[in-house]
Amino acid sequence: MQSLGLVFLFLAMNVYAQKTASTASEAQEFMNRAEAQLADLNVKVNRATWVQENFITDDTEAMAADAIDEVAAVTSELVEQARRFEGLALSPELARKFMLLKLSLTAPAPKDAALRREMTEIGVSLSSDYGKGKYCRKNGECLDITAIEKLMSSSRDPEELKEVWAGWHAIAPPMRQRYSRFVDLSNQGAREIGFKDTGALWRSGYDMTPEEFSADLERLWNQVKPLYLSLHTFVRWKLAEKYGPKLVPPDGPIPAHLLGNPWAQEWGNVYDLLGVQEDKGGGVNITELLKKKNLDAKGMVKYGEGFFTSMGFAPLPPTFWERSLFTKPADRDVVCHASAWDIDSFDDLRVKMCIQVRDTDFVTIHHELGHNFYQRAYKDQPFLFKNGANDGFHEAIGDAIALAITPEYLHKVGLLESVPQASNDIPELLKQALDRVAFLPFGLMIDQWRWKVFSGEIAPSDYNKSWWELRLKYQGVAPPVARSEGDFDPGAKYHVAANVPYTRYFLAFILEFQFYRALCRESGYKGPLHGCTFYGSKEAGAKFNKMLAMGQSKPWPDALEALTGGRQIDASAILEYFAPLQKWLDAQNRGKRVGW
């Protein structure tokens, strides 16, 4: 049932909208009320979705759907009523709020209440299907995505990997029809508020036109593509040596199941197959260091918090430790995909993770805490400015910190007894590249697919065919078994099932190096970029906080300039970081075919 507060809000807004003359002061009054109402609803939807993702039942799905439906209804109504103020001369701050209000729904719902409710229920059900997804093997063992990730990270049996890969992707076909309907409803909502489709709405959130943003992405991809091709060529060659040319064609795409990850999005788990010689005593195995310390999940999170506090940030509130989910419960299904939460837009910060004691989770913890510290830094901004400068910024914050997890840092915090003296630059850079560089085309292609789906360029009858065409084009990977339109492989990726925009991650993997380089310079570091840690630098922390505290109050180039001095997202920092590796890769690849 709709609350009385909402009823009164709508009555007041409708009376207000009937006035014939609109003024800037009326626009300000409208926005003040809108932000207050949205702030209250934001808490309600955050609490409901937190419970739904931590206790997946029919009842919690219904509760989350109710809350999401309510906020969608109010936001859509406010966007519609805000149109009466179009064309008014407003202050830059107020004009920005109206723009952000219009862009605030990732999936704008139709005005029709029944259609809006249908769309909400579909969205919640798709997310829950993913969270409950399991592959049950012939021996009766059922694997959730956490177990599947673990198995695919370590197994070197290509038949087992193929079986498990196909088994996980089998969770998605039941989503296909509902996903198509979700797209139709979301597009209807987007058109009703003035956008061509939902993809155009997503591309409008970057302080430039959708067309300018698409062109900027192409510019960035062309900057980093040569580095990716060098890495792809080397990895393909080494996997062909391991598995044979029949399984891994020396001049073709890499089979997706052999790259150590269910989605072939990060390749760090196959490092041991690449035959790279490390200087004796030069390597650092973070997983072994964590286990040697007998750390549990919470202990790992403490190290992540410690990096931020070393730079001058205040510790996380006690409620963070009381309310976060750090390990997978034994008695229920949860959505294990790592996420950071800001329940009340002030101090109720949390993470939700199924942490394993391993290096990748250690890095992920720093990433998720980056969201939390960003959220707290802008907590005093008005509600509509409580967000990252753009969504790529939010993803890049913690990763910039994670880049500074160097042997020197590990030594400073007591995880490593001494900093290795032997030169081990190439192996360490290769490990980083297998995760960060390998990810770039995957980070780009997810939304290239979705934008074409939203625009109608990709019809429902071609969902899977087009998915693999784009994966081949950008990543140079291919499915291990034949695929058809009876499959729905996009749905086996959380962000598609949960309707989370993905271009933010491509931007983040470039921005993080820009942030990292700026923080290194601010800390006074001199030397090769990949060797820098700014742990303990209050100077770097102060500069960092200056950008974080701005939230979304200014166009993102202003925020970028506050930290880096530049106003354009640029891949020169990531290319500088990996320059020694690319030189080495190109020497190794001499005589090998680049591309597929």
Instruction: Report how far apart, in Å, the C-alpha atoms of 498 and of each of 125, 302, 335, 376, 427 are.
Output: 9, 29, 11, 25, 36
What is the Cα–Cα distance from 199 to 502, expressed in whole angstroms?
Answer: 11
Q: Which of 169, 337, 394, 530 is catalytic?
A: 337
Q: Specify the residue for token string 């030169």.
A: 423
Helix ranges (H only) for 244-383 are 286-292, 297-310, 318-323, 359-377
Q: Which of 305, 368, 512, 522 is catalytic?
A: 368
Q: Which of 232, 366, 371, 530 is catalytic?
A: 371
Helix ranges (H only) for 318-424 are 318-323, 359-377, 391-403, 407-412
Q: What is the three-class DSSP state of 531?
A: helix
Inter-axis angle of helices 359-377 and 297-310, to 10 degrees? 50
Assigned token pair, 396: 């890049």
> Nearest-CA neighbor of 105 among 132, 134, 71?
71
Q: Is 394 a catalytic residue?
A: no
Q: Which of 77, 147, 495, 539 is catalytic?
A: 495
What is the Cα–Cα distance from 45 to 228, expressed in whole angstroms?
Answer: 40
Q: Is 368 a catalytic residue?
A: yes
Q: Is 505 a catalytic residue?
A: yes
Q: What single string gives the DSSP state of each residue in 449-499?
A: HHHHHHHTSS-GGGHHHHHHHHHHHHT-EE-SS---TT--GGGGSHHHHTT
Q: Which of 135, 303, 374, 505 is catalytic?
A: 505
Q: Is 338 a catalytic residue?
A: yes
Residues 6+ apart with CB under 8 A from 328: 146, 334, 336, 354
Q: Is 232 a catalytic residue?
A: no
Q: Is 169 a catalytic residue?
A: no
Q: Is 395 a catalytic residue?
A: yes
Q: What is the three-class DSSP state of 547?
A: helix
Instruction: Report how far apart, in Å, the C-alpha atoms of 232 and of each of 244, 253, 438, 555 are.
Output: 17, 9, 8, 36
Q: Which of 24, 95, 147, 338 is catalytic?
A: 338
Q: Which of 367, 389, 400, 525 is catalytic?
A: 367
Q: Which of 121, 395, 428, 512 is catalytic?
A: 395
Which positions are catalytic? 337-338, 367-368, 371, 395, 495, 505
